[in-house]
Amino acid sequence: MLPEHSIEVAFWNMQLGGLQMNYGYPDRKSDQSMLVQITEEYQPIVEVLRTKRGSMTNYNYLVVDSFSRRAVIVDPAWQMDVVEHAMSQAQASLEGVLLTHAHADHVDLAGVLSEKYGCPVWMSTREIEASGFSAANLVGIDESDWWIGGMKITPILTPGHTPGCFCYLIGDNLFTGDVLFVEGCGICPDVESAYQMFESLQRLKREIKPETRIFPGHSFGKAPGLNFTGVIRENIYLHFRDKKRFAEFRQRHVHNREKFFEFH
Ligand SMILES: [Fe+2]
């Protein structure tokens, strides 16, 4: 049994700005392996990629382990050239695709990237079952943590927008797809889903640290990366105390297919 926060690594000792770090990454070829602690100060690099097709604008996030350059990408869509340019600039090795949910504007490039780079596509098992989504190298996952290099990936089940939506916590960064925007939250298909969304947002308020940076799938004004304290200040959907009042407010518009992607 490995102690919490420890991984098997090829070890490095590094001096960064006066901070001594014991750091490493899994290297199956190395016979020099040991257990080290990932320091609290360590944070991955988050590359914010704004991509467009037609009227759709999405945020994709390339998350890079700053030492090993191993990387994952969250909800890749629309512009392969933008994604690959970012990977090249970051000297990143793509290790997997994290999908928050199965809507087309969040999964558009998942299969293409998976086939080209031979990496898994992760989505919640519940979302796969609810949506029927399929892609090359698709892996259904639950809320168990796992590591890519020095990055601990923690999926958080947050249904409401869809039945199996995940947010992903990596370091002090939360990738929220269409669950939580700076200015609002994702649409819900019916009242029961709105109740689920209320519970999901309450869970985030209980579990996410104030300094955590929030990276949504879309922006409706504010740039991605505002901390959770700032999002709570901006976002009326995080201030309801009663699920019925929340659902009444959330469902106050009649949605139609043309306005499917509108959040408010
Ligand atoms: Fe969506």
Residue 250 gets which letter from DSSP? Answer: H
| 56 lies in the same domain as 16 | no
| Long-range contacts, stretch 5-9, CB < 8 angstroms, 24+ apart | 5/37, 5/38, 5/152, 6/35, 6/36, 6/37, 6/38, 7/35, 7/36, 7/38, 7/147, 7/150, 8/33, 8/34, 8/35, 9/33, 9/34, 9/35, 9/36
| 20 lies in the same domain as 106 | no
Alpha carbon of 261 to ligand 1 centroid (Å): 7
| 88 lies in the same domain as 7 | no
| 104 lies in the same domain as 187 | yes
Check: CB of residue 240 under 8 Å from CB of residue 200.
Answer: no
| 113 lies in the same domain as 190 | yes
Alpha carbon of 215 to ligand 1 centroid (Å): 14
The answer to whether residue 262 is domain-embedded is: no
Strands in 138-141's sheet, in edge-to-edge order, are 45-53, 56-64, 70-74, 93-98, 121-124, 138-141
The answer to whether residue 263 is domain-embedded is: no
| 56 lies in the same domain as 32 | no
Residue 259 gets which letter from DSSP? Answer: G
The CATH code of the domain that includes 78 is: 3.60.15.10
Tokens of 166: 């995940």
| 118 lies in the same domain as 184 | yes
Tokens of 217: 């799938």
The answer to whether residue 264 is domain-embedded is: no
Residue pLDDT tens, the chain, 264 long: 333 333 333 333 333 333 333 333 333 333 333 334 455 578 999 999 999 999 999 999 999 999 999 999 999 999 999 999 999 999 999 999 999 999 999 999 999 999 999 999 999 999 999 999 999 999 999 999 999 999 999 999 999 999 999 999 999 999 999 999 999 999 999 999 999 999 999 999 999 999 999 999 999 999 999 999 999 999 999 999 999 999 999 999 755 444 444 443
Alpha carbon of 178 to ligand 1 centroid (Å): 5
Q: What are the C-alpha distances in Å from 6 to residues 20, 25, 56, 66, 168?
A: 17, 11, 41, 17, 20
Alpha carbon of 36 to ligand 1 centroid (Å): 39
CA-based nearest residue to 218, from 53, 54, 56: 56
| 36 lies in the same domain as 48 | no
Q: In whole angstroms, give the CA distance from residue 264 to residue 148.
A: 36
Which range marks the domain in which residue 27 is found? 1-40
| 35 lies in the same domain as 84 | no
| 25 lies in the same domain as 85 | no
Alpha carbon of 154 to ligand 1 centroid (Å): 20
The answer to whether residue 3 is domain-embedded is: yes
Ion ligand 1: residues, CB within 5 A, are 103, 178
Strand partners, 8: 35
Alpha carbon of 259 to ligand 1 centroid (Å): 12
pLDDT digits (tens, 9 = 90+) for 86-144: 999 999 999 999 999 999 999 999 999 999 999 999 999 999 999 999 999 999 999 99
| 123 lies in the same domain as 7 | no
Alpha carbon of 197 to ligand 1 centroid (Å): 13
| 249 lies in the same domain as 204 | yes
Tokens of 188: 């819900």
Tokens of 148: 């890519």
Q: Note the pTM of the prediction, 2 decimals.
A: 0.84
Question: Total structural domains in the chain?
Answer: 2
